[in-house]
Amino acid sequence: MTAQHVVGMVGVGNMGGRMARRLTEAGYDVRAVDADPAKIPASGAKPAASLAELAADCDVIMLSLPDSLVIESVIRGPGGLLGHARDGQIIVDLSTANPASTRALHDELAARGVRFLDAGISGGAAAADKGTLTLMVGGDAAALEKVRPLLAAFSAHVHHMGASGAGHVTKVLNNFLNGVTLAATAEVMVAGKKAGLDLAQLLEVINSSSGVSFASLNRFPRIIRGDYLEGGLTGQLMAKDVRLYLSLAEDLGVPTLVGPGTLTAFQVSNALGYGDVISNRVVDAYGDLAGGVRVADDDD
């Protein structure tokens, strides 16, 4: 097997594992490292003994990690990718990260001849399984062209957004809107329930009217039937993403009036015990605060 068909993956959790599986199904030899090695077999990847081994075996390495602190430790830490990088390697960061950190890592890796692409992803677990994710990429355009065949294994839309950091900026903006509409629609569903409305009919109205959103179209028709779509972005990670937006807005000098309220919604939800489950459970947090309302009854 040629080197270009050997791909490294750091992080095979909820999303990284799905992308690794799509790559193996496409015929690539995927070598993986994860903080929990027990997750690797389900991804279809072969375990690598260390980051150093991954760097030695793979010309392309992908990261799917929870935040910039973890990404920085994987790259800069003892035994990390920076210390074992080779001229000509490409690292593709598929995480949601702080764009300022991304740009700093890009410059450090560039000094070693490594091209670092920040590639935010959107579409969730279902799109990862189907290979229809949307990617928003920052960094060197020529490097992106080299890895497009790999990205095609799990994505249907790849957008080059500009220089280093542009992909993660785009991801932060998108995820903020995701959080806003999820929290707002959750609040409306609880209000509709307390008002005695038929929620399926309410959603039909919203989805043919000006209040329509991804949450109302794709999430709540299932949530009101008791299917919370478990396995997606957790409440803790959603709060992290909203905080990234608030930091970005401050750096850009952009006022944000909606941001603090959205962050509060997920922080309160997490404090009520929903932090480690899918962020869609914010609707139950609203229900708790409204006196124990559930938009999906046991008999729904």
Q: Is 137 inside any structural domain?
A: yes
Asked if residue 53 and residue 21 are part of one domain, the reply reads: yes
User: Can you give the pLDDT at residue 5?
Assistant: 75
Mean pLDDT of the region 49-62: 96
Q: Is 297 inside any structural domain?
A: no
User: Can you give the pLDDT at residue 298?
Assistant: 60
Confidence band, pLDDT 50/70/90 cuts, at residue 3: very low
Mean pLDDT of the region 42-55: 96
Asked if residue 227 and residue 107 are part of one domain, the reply reads: no
Asked if residue 216 and residue 78 are part of one domain, the reply reads: no
| Cβ atoms 104, 86 nearer than 8 A | no
Asked if residue 10 and residue 154 are part of one domain, the reply reads: yes
CA dist 15 and 32 (Å) reads 13
Q: Is 299 inside any structural domain?
A: no
Asked if residue 192 and residue 55 are part of one domain, the reply reads: no
Q: Is 271 inside any structural domain?
A: yes
CA dist 69 and 140 (Å) reads 23
Domain membership of residue 265 as a residue range: 170-289
Asked if residue 115 and residue 27 are part of one domain, the reply reads: yes
User: Can you give the pLDDT at residue 151?
Assistant: 97
Nearest Cα to Cα of residue 241 among 265, 274, 223, 212? 265
Nearest Cα to Cα of residue 6 among 22, 23, 28? 28
Mean pLDDT of the region 286-295: 98
Give the chain's mean pLDDT: 95
Asked if residue 138 and residue 17 are part of one domain, the reply reads: yes
CA dist 119 and 275 (Å) reads 25
Confidence band, pLDDT 50/70/90 cuts, at residue 1: very low
Q: Is 294 inside any structural domain?
A: no
Residues recognised as catalytic: 171
Mean pLDDT of the region 246-273: 98
Q: Is 300 inside any structural domain?
A: no
User: Can you give the pLDDT at residue 134?
Assistant: 97
Domain end (from 108, 136, 162)? 162
Asked if residue 157 and residue 50 are part of one domain, the reply reads: yes
Q: Is 14 inside any structural domain?
A: yes
Q: Is 295 inside any structural domain?
A: no
CA dist 263 and 258 (Å) reads 9
Nearest Cα to Cα of residue 107 among 134, 75, 59, 142? 75
As for how many domains the chain has, the answer is: 2
User: Can you give the pLDDT at residue 107?
Assistant: 98
Asked if residue 239 and residue 125 are part of one domain, the reply reads: no
Asked if residue 122 and residue 89 are part of one domain, the reply reads: yes
The model carries a pTM of 0.92
